[in-house]
Structure 1
């Protein structure tokens, strides 16, 4: 029968034992209890001080010496057991690696962290760690603790974690940045866990947060949409904490730079509007347009938004004496065809190219100055004052940016029907924007800290950058012809390696470890590994991260797929955490089951503003998020649109 008294010993220290690993023998009265994953502790003396060493049981072993005798095998073959010996002579043992160790001088003192420097004597009692005992151990650190789940083997114990900002230790900070990684297969709960941790960081008014979001999930949450079924009121939490949060999509950001202009020009299909198909010919067209803009007095990227500008550019391209047609095509037949196409466009006010150009020019237009560039957003984030620092989500998703187009009304109606994955926001464009973000943050973090030091102020930038789908930007293997990818990967590795001392930390979220660059993984200090990485290269990567202890890896491999639970209410999301993630952590992982959204908010006593109900995502956006051409939505590319689409007769 299970013993519910947590203060009764469940085991004792055996032999051989060391400061790195202790042999423990499980008592008969605890042999039927669920002990794997449970937190335990023992009390001992060291240098005249009370010492309490904790740990987590990750495996059990049962042996019965009689069953191992060859002479007994015939009896076992008959009945499966040995009378009076089977069961009764079973010995259950475990090997316990000490985790956090605490000490105090007397019962009147609070516990503080200690290093285990001696071995407890055999027979020392081991008890399960209950919530009251855990809280007593951490009473001196209670203001620094945050809770995201329960001990893997004991749902009555909530596991304390560190979610500190990177700023001044006198204001609850770490004093320097650290890099984190959340990894797990689809359905493992990694997005929910990431939001738990983001909510923990958002408590700190001195920390600025930037989320680079290619899927749009975090941006949707910040915008007030309901995403997933975790029950976490993420937007309500941010509002309850008075945390300023803003989403930026492509139409809220002013793009800049000729390199970006070339990518957007081609991704929006200006080349298709001119019936230019060859890859080299497209690049020559883009080069010609950029050269014309550079050479023309008064013409810059931020003042191109008029038909007269495009007309002038097209006329210059088609000019018989000083044009660019002979650079775009080398033979006479396609040259003549291009000139005729340009003439036809110039005589057709309803041709789709006019609105394509209008949208392209809009993205780079200075306008009234309310749209910031990526560089301006990054600088304002990093230079924001203590106590009033924002959370910003840069939405790089197709669905989110398609909603932005819809919000612009009829101004760019045709573009809303374009092929959203190819013509609106390409992978190359994403990489160039992200490169600008990483490059600016790397440079500014050092510049800002240096300026503050010269002014006599010792403070870092205290900023966290979150990267969803990190393998897209720092993959272990990269195509030889992906110059944008190589450039971004090198800059990201440089930033991760060098910005920690400036208070700039990077937080990666992904489905894979094996697909991430090794340099990124080596720089990560806090890792959270969810279900699904239990085979092949991924499992080997897990072994490398946690130190290769076979018992830790075996417990991780035993994680149950959250999708395999019969009822949603029974579903559990198991995690293995490694690094300085918790006051209970040492040199081995910690195992826990994540809270659901409701328990997370209530246990951490977080204020939730429920005055605004979450919105539901529009059905067409959900369909677009799933797959190209899914459901009843037919994808339409820019070159499939009729030339006279904007005619009143259509």
Structure 2
């Protein structure tokens, strides 16, 4: 990277700006450096500060950067047992307490830049590694925006800023690359995790991530939204859909309740009826009997559709009545479910009652329609529905020049019978994951590389931390599907983003496949801390993470990032960021994100969730960055 001769070193060592906070102490090595804090800086906030030092390296200069994770005070006189008795009586040692204190800090090396002045008077700044431990006494300076800007000059088109260096006003440079090749691409997919307790800022961070990825028009994004928050844009720190439109992205929102349908699969329909408690309504409560009833009903649904010359996606209004009539008239079907005569006759009587009693039939129809609507081109309420596989397929990247869509799938079920049924949502998610895996595999076989990010909010509700072979629930099946997906889809160019409150709830195989992670406040107890320790492995970084204060007390939202989150983290050490809570601050750091000139949009209806209007809902929720 060509930069005006002497300019890098001039910025790094500018006397009026580069005020040292310490010097290299002992012991230090190539990964961790001890800093002796100067008296002039010992009362400043030091922990979390990003610092740099300039070292000679093979006839050239090297700038080494790291973030202070630990500060320690020592006073040898206070450690002497003979003097501790005096301290006990007097409370201090005159002329020794305080004045003889030695403060040391520790940094983990995050980045190193080799600065080479050649014969043409040009200066190059390139990434390198610290090849030997630094000499003691070398000045250590606090990082400034100017320092980061000039060291990362060649990355300036890729850099985004989502917050500041922890505990400072310095903007933290980050880069979020798409999964394809070429400009701004990393050349491969990877999986991402965003973790933190409720109120830690996960939603705000996720919104920033989505907007930053939106800069890459060749990257498709599919956001699976179990609560409808991102689909409607409510409770986020800025108008997400408007900002996405401003980036030239085509934002599409599909609501599972009204806009999506599953494929023409009668067996899946009959299985879904079990989630709608259809078989319980018929009096079939035993799980084994209900499983047989699914097969029996499937056969009769097929016969009824064939007789009507119809498919499931345009089922006749008489399908329920025709199916139950066929079932009632088939003694062998009744006998398959119940071999005992008494129970068989009870089932037959129940079918007759439903067919003859209008109220009973209406109740039965309600459960039937709840499932059937998910398969109809035009459902019972007149909504036109799009095939789920087509929607998912629209996000798959197949052309280098196309601008890929941003698709939100609202599976909240707002206004439907399955609103609070996570088992039905899990079945739908399994269908999505299966479609992605299948289409990705087909594209891979054709020599095509996808470029797609699939995000799942509230992942802890749907992806379990373990599965049992005896567990046939949709949750268990979904977990198995996702575990298989994270193992295989990276080679297709398809990465997953899991947004969740807890590490312990996710399957270990999924956690092990995550490459880029952001950890918000609250993962400091029991199995959460154990999992975090296993992932990060740096005790000093974990100590700094555990110092995070509850964001609700100060409205500051710190995160620890691991993986390829920044051009300053190529050694693998975590970086610590306080996220922007004001969108004005975000735009000031990222002028490309300004959408003030873009007309207001609403690509999804607002889920008032029982409130009389949008204003009362907003006041009740009182959300900002959370």
- Structure 2 length-normalised TM: 0.86
CA deviations over 1:81-126 (Å, ceiling 9, x no partner) = 1111111111111222211111121284242211111233221110
Displacement of 1:220 in angstroms is 2.2
5 Å matches for 1:48-59? 48-59=59-70
1:211, 1:465 within 8 Å by CA — same for their partners in 2? yes
Matched, 1:592 2:580: no
Matched, 1:20 2:28: no
Residue 594 of structure 2 is matched in structure 1 by 607
Residue 411 of structure 1 is matched in structure 2 by none
Moved >6 Å (runs of 4+): 613-616
Residue 159 of structure 1 is matched in structure 2 by 172
Residue 80 of structure 1 is matched in structure 2 by 91
5 Å matches for 1:135-534? 135-155=149-169, 157-169=170-182, 171-221=183-233, 226-228=234-236, 231-250=237-256, 251-256=258-263, 257-295=265-303, 297-298=306-307, 301-302=311-312, 305-319=315-329, 322=331, 324-349=333-358, 351-352=361-362, 353-366=364-377, 371-383=385-397, 385=399, 386-399=401-414, 402=415, 418=417, 420-421=419-420, 426-451=421-446, 453=447, 460-479=449-468, 480-534=470-524
Residue 114 of structure 2 is matched in structure 1 by 103
Cα distance in 1 between the residues matched to 2:325 and 2:78? 93
Cα distance in 2 between the residues matched to 1:279 and 1:499? 35
CA deviations over 1:422-461 (Å, ceiling 9, x no partner) = xxxx33332332222222222322321332x3xxxxx621
Relative to structure 2, which stretch is displaced further, 375-384 or 189-198? 375-384
SS at match of 2:52: strand
Displacement of 1:303 in angstroms is 5.1
Cα distance in 2 between the residues matched to 1:259 and 1:162? 46
Cα distance in 1 between the residues matched to 2:355 and 2:138? 91
SS at match of 1:592: strand
Residue 646 of structure 1 is matched in structure 2 by none
1:220, 1:227 within 8 Å by CA — same for their partners in 2? no
CA deviations over 1:362-403 (Å, ceiling 9, x no partner) = 32224599633222222222146433201112222233xx2x
SS at match of 1:93: strand
1:307, 1:354 within 8 Å by CA — same for their partners in 2? no
2:269, 2:372 within 8 Å by CA — same for their partners in 1? no
5 Å matches for 1:126-141? 126-141=140-155
User: In angstroms, what is the RMSD of aligned CA positions?
Assistant: 2.7
Structure 1 residues 96 and 347: CA distance shift in structure 2, 3 A:
closer
Cα distance in 1 between the residues matched to 2:63 and 2:387? 54
SS at match of 1:154: coil
Cα distance in 2 between the residues matched to 1:180 and 1:258? 36
Residue 406 of structure 1 is matched in structure 2 by none
1:246, 1:391 within 8 Å by CA — same for their partners in 2? yes
Cα distance in 2 between the residues matched to 1:290 and 1:616? 36
Structure 1 residues 70 and 103: CA distance shift in structure 2, 3 A:
same
Displacement of 1:24 in angstroms is 1.5
Task: Find the partner of 1:578 among 544, 549, 562.
Answer: 562
Structure 1 residues 201 and 484: CA distance shift in structure 2, 3 A:
same
Residue 557 of structure 1 is matched in structure 2 by 546
Displacement of 1:336 in angstroms is 3.7
2:398, 2:450 within 8 Å by CA — same for their partners in 1? no
CA deviations over 1:541-568 (Å, ceiling 9, x no partner) = 1111111x32211111111011223xxx
Matched, 1:542 2:532: yes
2:301, 2:319 within 8 Å by CA — same for their partners in 1? no
1:181, 1:528 within 8 Å by CA — same for their partners in 2? yes
Structure 1 residues 522 and 354: CA distance shift in structure 2, 3 A:
closer
Cα distance in 1 between the residues matched to 2:563 and 2:137? 31
Structure 2, gaps ≥5 residues long: 1-14, 613-619, 621-626
Cα distance in 2 between the residues matched to 1:508 and 1:357? 33
1:316, 1:323 within 8 Å by CA — same for their partners in 2? no
Displacement of 1:263 in angstroms is 3.1
Cα distance in 2 between the residues matched to 1:322 and 1:525? 57
Residue 413 of structure 1 is matched in structure 2 by none
Cα distance in 2 between the residues matched to 1:355 and 1:428? 18
2:111, 2:568 within 8 Å by CA — same for their partners in 1? yes
Relative to structure 2, which stretch is displaced further, 159-168 or 332-341? 332-341
Displacement of 1:483 in angstroms is 4.9
What is the number of residues matched between the two proteins?
A: 580
